[in-house]
Amino acid sequence: MNLNFLSSKYRNSVIDQATSGDVPVEYDDLINLSIGDPDINTPQLIIDRAFKDACNGHTKYTASRGYPELRAAICDFYKSRYNMDVKDEEVFVSTAGSVAMYITMQAILDEGDEVIIIEPYFFPYPDQVKMAGGVPVFVKTSMENNFQIDFDALEAAVTDKTKCIIINTPNNPTGICYTYETLGKLAEFAIKHDLVVAADDIYTSFTYTEEKFMPIASFPGMKERTITINSFSKNFIMTGFRVGNIIAPDYIIRVIQTINENVVYTAPSISQRAALHGLHHFDEFEDDVVNVFRERVEYAHKRLSEIPWVDVLPVSGSFYIFPSIKKTGLTSAQFSQKLFNECHVRVIPGRAFGESGEYHIRISCTLGIDKLKEAFDRMEKMTF
């Protein structure tokens, strides 16, 4: 290979891939609990109506900010659910959440700007910051504090180069939700330091506490400094459709639009139609979807709580659970490999989500209880 053909900032990643060793072994009885892709299908009415729209000609480019009727439905959704007044010019329809975060970082960061990332974090965040010329700065949290934000640590992380904080609640990987108290303090902190908050609001329906999800953009003084990223992937079970949205001040949206036009131009038209129908009929299927995953995470918590070498918090949001395996004496990577080799169960080592994730594993409850039962039956037989 001729590495000179590559940008220098990506050469090491190619070398790492080429020298990473053998192809991973697979097992016929593998139970894969590593993927955040629900096993249930997209609600049939979304598929049927989007398919009908495709047959009726919705297969062309759309307006570069998305179909006007979809933008209007997004505004209506935020008004009806969160009592937020969102204007059309503050809405951008994106190619799902990951692209949305990428182009958001491209829009707001200058070379050397620092972005605070609360650990544990969704693992693409640091690279998305670096690709935009920014510098990720990590603030640790702990299981002992229910993975809520440590504001003393947050204060210590701020410098004159800090521009943005990335948050994700309900959280991937921990399965916790930031409390209203935490969000209120974070809002005050952002205003005090004149920071942008990039809120990765992906699992908003999946909240299992009395405090239901509330966008930080809805807190006093926050709408003008929050970039809200949403996706239809999880709430609407539409991971493969690749469609989401960004809500931000109109001048930020205009820059995001310019960047996106030079990358993908628009989100797929058929996916946008699916999103539109999903919003129009959300109340018809939301509870059924949420209850499926609530049952699974509650089952997972019960089973894990019965294993003596596991410590685990109840899940308050998302469909992940993030137990500590520190009592085994193994790192998260060592434990995950042992679990894979001995039990044929795949999870993600917690260290992949930052230093605060070490000695944890992320279990994705995206398979049915029968599969979860088999996985935990195997896991509880492990010895250390």
| Inside any domain, residue 14 | yes
Out of 262, 282, 302, a domain closes at: 282
In a shared domain, residues 76 and 171: yes
Per-residue pLDDT of 260-275, as tens digits, reads: 999 999 999 999 999 9
CATH number assigned to the domain comprising residue 366: 3.90.1150.10
In a shared domain, residues 245 and 185: yes
In a shared domain, residues 271 and 332: no
Confidence of residue 19 (pLDDT cuts 50, 70, 90): very low
In a shared domain, residues 238 and 273: yes
CB 252 within 8 A of CB 226: no
pLDDT at 171 > cutoff 90: yes
The confidence score (pLDDT) of residue 346 equals 97
In a shared domain, residues 109 and 228: yes
In a shared domain, residues 241 and 320: no
In a shared domain, residues 80 and 141: yes
pLDDT at 374 > cutoff 50: yes
When pLDDT is averaged across residues 358-365 and rounded to a whole number, the result is: 98
Per-residue pLDDT of 111-146, as tens digits, reads: 999 999 999 999 999 999 999 999 999 999 999 999
∠ CA 29-175-196, rounded to 5°: 130
Q: Which residue has the tokens 């004496």?
A: 329
In a shared domain, residues 150 and 202: yes
Range of the domain at 343: 3-41+285-379
Per-residue pLDDT of 205-233, as tens digits, reads: 999 999 999 999 999 999 999 999 999 99
| Inside any domain, residue 50 | no
Out of 241, 265, 282, a domain closes at: 282
Confidence of residue 159 (pLDDT cuts 50, 70, 90): very high
| Inside any domain, residue 55 | no
pTM to 2 decimals?
0.94
pLDDT at 20 > cutoff 50: no
C-alpha torsion sign, points 88, 90, 95, 96: negative
The confidence score (pLDDT) of residue 286 equals 97
Question: For residues 42 and 322, what is the distance between their CA atoms, to the nearest angstrom?
Answer: 26
Share of the chain above pLDDT 90, in %: 92
Share of the chain above pLDDT 70, in %: 97
| Inside any domain, residue 128 | yes
Out of 282, 298, 330, a domain closes at: 282
Confidence of residue 18 (pLDDT cuts 50, 70, 90): low
In a shared domain, residues 366 and 227: no
CB 164 within 8 A of CB 115: yes
In a shared domain, residues 105 and 29: no
The confidence score (pLDDT) of residue 17 equals 54
In a shared domain, residues 66 and 109: yes
| Inside any domain, residue 90 | yes
In a shared domain, residues 71 and 141: yes
Burial of 158 (0-12, 13-18, 19+ CB in 10 A): middle
Number of domains in the chain: 2
| Inside any domain, residue 49 | no
CATH number assigned to the domain comprising residue 176: 3.40.640.10
Instruction: Tell me the pLDDT of the chain averaged across its residues.
Output: 95
Confidence of residue 12 (pLDDT cuts 50, 70, 90): confident
| Inside any domain, residue 384 | no
Strand partners, 229: 200, 246
When pLDDT is averaged across residues 39-61 and rounded to a whole number, the result is: 97
Q: Which residues contact 265 (CB under 8 A, 6 or more apart)?
A: 61, 64
**Secondary structure (3-state) at 307:** coil
The confidence score (pLDDT) of residue 8 equals 85
pLDDT at 15 > cutoff 80: no
| Inside any domain, residue 47 | no
> Beta strand 114-118 with 196-201: parallel, antiparallel or unpaired?
unpaired
The confidence score (pLDDT) of residue 381 equals 96
**More confident of the two residues 120 and 15:** 120
Asked, as a colleague might, if the bond just before 170 is cis with ω within 30 of 0, I would say yes
